[in-house]
Amino acid sequence: MFIFPPLFKAEFVKRYKRFFTDVMKDDNITVVHNPNTGSMKNLLTAGNPVLCSVSDNPARKLPCTLEAMCVNREWLIVNTMVVNRIAESAITDGEIDELGNVSLCRREYAYDEARLDFYVESDRGKFLIEVKNCTLYDDETVMFPDAVTTRGKKHLEVLQRAVKEGYTACMLYMCQVRRKSFRPAHEIDPAYAAEFERAKAAGVKILVYYTDFDPEEGTVRLRKMV
């Protein structure tokens, strides 16, 4: 289980210059850092509740960080910088069923001129894992990506090569809402969607989990979705 630092609630006002977001708290505008580089398509509605953290680092120009947003009563974790920490907690705590009993978990693992999120050893073998945060969805389905991602396509290519070398290669899609299904967003990035299908056919494991986030307690667990 992952636990956020103390969070304060505010309302979303606007996003601008990609990494800046205005939020309203106690009738005052606060500028917070938004680490999410995606389009955040369908999330950016003025008035949506948000949760932000406060850094104790005096060197930061923006001490507050946007962590989560609430859309139609569903909370989504939007800070992509915290996603891998959540994934690491889930891996080491045994929340990812497919990994078995984990004995080793290394972050930022260099492999084949790339850097993958995790290298894991367990009683089921050696795993290379790349994590993607998914905030694009409709009533039935969660999708990825929400913007064109050449880097994401490269990760799929690297994982296919890892399969040939005997690793269990996994794409872990962390869905920020629970839905019935998951698919690549071919209408947004057809090249990524095509590579996704090639990777799946080549033996890359597709792991789809959703974040069970308690906004009051600030706790997150990963639970299998598909």
pLDDT single digits (tens) 142-171: 999 999 999 999 999 999 999 999 999 999
d(CA 64, CA 72): 24
Q: pLDDT by residue (tens digit) across 115-134?
A: 999 999 999 999 999 999 99
* pTM higher than the cut 0.85: yes
Tokens of 165: 């070398």
| Strand residues in the chain grouped as ranges (E) | 2-3, 7-16, 20-25, 28-33, 49-54, 64-71, 74-77, 102-111, 114-122, 125-134, 136-137, 141-144, 168-175, 181-184, 205-214, 219-224
What structural domains does the chain harbor? 2-77 (2.40.50.580), 80-224 (3.40.1350.60)
